[in-house]
Amino acid sequence: MRSSEELKEVVKEKYSQIANQSKEENETSCCGAGECCTVDYAVFAEDYSKLGGYHEDADLGLGCGIPTEFAQIKEGDTVLDLGSGAGNDCFVARELAGVSGKVMGVDMTDVMIDKARENAEKLNFNNVEFRKGDIENLPVGGNRVDVVISNCVLNLVPNKEKAFAETHRVLKPGGHFSVSDVVLKGDLPENLKNDAEMYAGCVSGAIQLEEYVAIIKETGFMEIAVQKEKMVVLPDEILNMYLNETEITNYKNGDFGIVSVTVYGQKPSCDPNSGCC
């Protein structure tokens, strides 16, 4: 099993490649970049094209949900997007937060940050900014954010406990998150769990839904709810690369599966660590 730092390097390299491709290229190659090897991102992606604030240049087709759909963003809110990529969810969030709001995106990939900043400049947005940083150590002060969103990124973070602890830290008392992510139901075969390319493709970095929710609860969030749940159907060409005939049959019978979820959690209004009590 690779270390946390090695897995982060895998993700950086993969998403640096993806950033330089179009949405169409990402969706028509099995793993988004390079040879046809792992995940076709189109099996995860949702259609953003009819949403307010949507800008085609920022959509690389990499999400597994639409977190802004459930995020309850209000005019004037400060919104933080974890793993902001080329800025797709940030620009949709800005439409909801308005000119009086503020949207920040954090990403650890230089090429993605550059691409997002170029998109914001072309759109002449002065209340959207992008910061390079690690989700396990966010470059944002405590108690600053009304809403945190994320789209198919937290499953790539090796230390999910720390990622949710950082989310809790930056949220204002009473603030909340709505994140779309990939989780598992049932035991994933070892070949999928251990392949680094599948990690970058969002699958082997995923954990059981029950474990995911337990981490959120242990971090101190309340009002936790699964807002949306959708099974992800992997095509046969991918299944044949990683699973034997029996495992494929079990997968198709629903013995185990990969699920796209959108999850909500709220930071308590009176948090002892914030000094508000």
Is 36 domain-assigned? Answer: yes
Mean pLDDT for the stretch of residues 141-151: 97
Mean pLDDT for the stretch of residues 125-130: 97
What range defines the domain where residue 180 resides? 4-241+256-268
Is 163 domain-assigned? Answer: yes
Is 260 domain-assigned? Answer: yes
pTM of the model: 0.85
Averaged confidence pLDDT in the chain:
84
Q: How many domains does the chain have?
A: 1
Is 44 domain-assigned? Answer: yes
In this predicted model, what pLDDT tens digit does every residue of 204-262 receive, in sequence order?
A: 567 889 999 999 999 999 999 999 998 887 778 778 887 889 988 988 888 888 888 99
Is 248 domain-assigned? Answer: no
Give the domain CATH number at 51: 3.40.50.150
β-pairing, 222-232 vs 257-266, is antiparallel
Is 274 domain-assigned? Answer: no
Is 247 domain-assigned? Answer: no
In this predicted model, what pLDDT tens digit does every residue of 151-193 receive, in sequence order?
A: 988 988 889 999 999 999 999 999 999 999 988 888 877 776 6
Spell out the alpha helix ranges (H) of the chain: 4-19, 23-28, 88-97, 110-122, 160-170, 190-194, 196-200, 209-218, 236-242, 245-252
Is 251 domain-assigned? Answer: no
